[in-house]
A and B are shown apart, each in its own frame.
Chain A
Amino acid sequence: MDETLKFDIREMLDDDGPLGDAGAPADMAVHAALRAVHPRLKRAIDRVRRPAVRIGVIDTAIGRLLVAEGPRGLLAVHFLDISEAADPLPTLRERFDVVEDADTAARIGREIERYLAGDSRALDRPVDLSLVRTDFQRRALLRLRRTVPPGSVITYQALAAAVGKPSGQRAIGNTMAINPVPLYVPCHRVIRSDGTIGHYGGGVKRKIKLLRAEGFSVARDHRLPAGSVMGHLVTHTFCRPQCHAAMRADRAKSVIFANAQRAQRAGLRACKLCRPA
């Protein structure tokens, strides 16, 4: 055994810390090995690569949110102060390559602020509902987003009917509870048939806040304001809730507007029977 080796081992024994590079593969060799393996490794990983998702945390007027955007659209908006809501992060990480991106998050945050300040078109970016499990749920969420604009609401029952399940109001309730992209898919615009606003995944207080921002002056008892009117999307008319025409109308195609002006702005005309405006 030669001198150098003895010296090395002596040093290793005396010192409890790392020894550094004694007898290590030379940097050149490591470098060459890496260069040789990189193309192979990249090909191997590309075969199983997950799509990228950018995430970030933002503070907005309605609280601290986790947002996640993938290549096909917004995947998740999550109220971080709601402890019982399922954290989307583990699922996101399992299915996507998650990277933090403060710029994307900030852009989404500004958009939400514009919306809260009254810009009803601010939340137009595409959403990606791939975190939603069933087809029924996905259809309900898309339908809601497409047909219930700011300033209107729909009942759980009517939305159930609209996606072909007239007695599925409970299923709609569950679907709203798992909505991965609240605000962007406006689950706060789904209310109970008795005119009270019902529950909200982000807390009832938030639901009231959001509805008020959209023109519904929700009362203390959580009821919709007296001036609310029923809008019929087939006939493009709107009625007082007690109108005979409203009673006969297809629930699946009705939404509720905060007042006559909102309905008119959405392109509907007043019913000639009950004359709501």
Chain B
Amino acid sequence: MEARANLKLPPPFEQALSRHEREIMRFLLRMTRDQEDALDLFQETWLRAYRAYPQLDSEAGLRPWLYRIASNLCRNRVRDNLRRSRVISNGDDPAGHDHRATSASAACGDHADVLHLRRAIAQLPNKQGQALVMRKFAGLEYEEIGAALDCSPESARASVYQALKKLKAI
């Protein structure tokens, strides 16, 4: 009598964490361009993932699912930051944006050209920026990006295309 491993379960949470933490961190650093924000969102992403882990029903869905949590949190953060900056700065500190970019680049040890690219990506509409990063830097399939951003694979492909068109036009 042999024990069989034929339950189609996602991997244990700790395994999912060690397998995907690097790319999620990379994604968050890229999207937030701010080390502290990225750490906060990273913690929140994985805490939410842990809480909701019982609802995840296959290993194949794991990666887009993680990106989905992370990108939703990014979107919320952008919204919250906009609201906050409107209240605080009232539009008189346009340099506020660049502090962030500088601190992120210090953390990541970048050159100026990379900084340009990163800033250009940050100016993209939210969905396009995220789709672009998932496709071009994290290497997700369009199906996975669609699952992460709650849209069709075709729409994900279109977002990436639009994002590239805009970057090229800069």
Contact = CB atoms under 8 A, between A and B. Distances in A.
Interface of A: 1-5, 8-9, 12-13, 17-26, 28-30, 32-34, 36-37, 40-41, 44-45, 48-49, 55-60, 66, 89-90, 93-94, 97-100, 102-103, 105-106, 109-110, 113
Contacts of B91: none
A17 B4 CA distance: 38
Contact of B136 (A19, A93, A98): A19
Contacts of A98: 9, 12
Interface in B1-15: 1-7, 9, 12-13
Interface stretch (B61-69, B71-79, B94-102, B110-118): B110-118
B3 A109 contact: yes
16 contacts: A5-B120, A8-B113, A20-B139, A23-B137, A25-B107, A26-B108, A29-B109, A34-B21, A41-B42, A56-B3, A59-B2, A100-B5, A102-B3, A102-B4, A105-B3, A109-B1
B117 A8 contact: yes
The 7 closest A-B pairs by CB, nearest first: A18-B139, A102-B3, A4-B113, A106-B3, A93-B54, A23-B114, A25-B29
Most buried by B among A44, A100, A105, A110: A100
A141 B110 CA distance: 65
B50 A102 contact: no
Contacts of A102: 3-5
A50 B70 CA distance: 22
Nearest to A29: B108
B39 A57 contact: no
Nearest to A95: B54
Contact of B4 (A25, A59, A110): A59
Interface of B: 1-7, 9, 12-13, 21-22, 25-26, 29-30, 35, 38-39, 42-43, 46-47, 50-51, 53-54, 104, 107-114, 116-118, 120, 135-139, 164, 167-168, 170
A186 to B, nearest CB: 21
Contacts of B116: 1-2, 5
A89 B54 CA distance: 10
Contacts, number: 144
Given A1-B116, A56-B3, A97-B13, 16 more contacts: A2-B116, A12-B167, A18-B136, A18-B137, A20-B137, A22-B137, A23-B113, A30-B22, A34-B22, A34-B25, A45-B46, A48-B47, A58-B4, A89-B7, A106-B3, A109-B1
A19 B137 CA distance: 6
A3 B1 CA distance: 65
A30 B30 CA distance: 11
Contacts of B3: 56-58, 102-103, 105-106, 109
Given A18-B137, A89-B7, A30 B1 contact: no
Most buried by B among A13, A20, A33: A33
Contacts of B113: 2-5, 8, 23
Most buried by B among A28, A29, A109: A29
Nearest to B56: A93
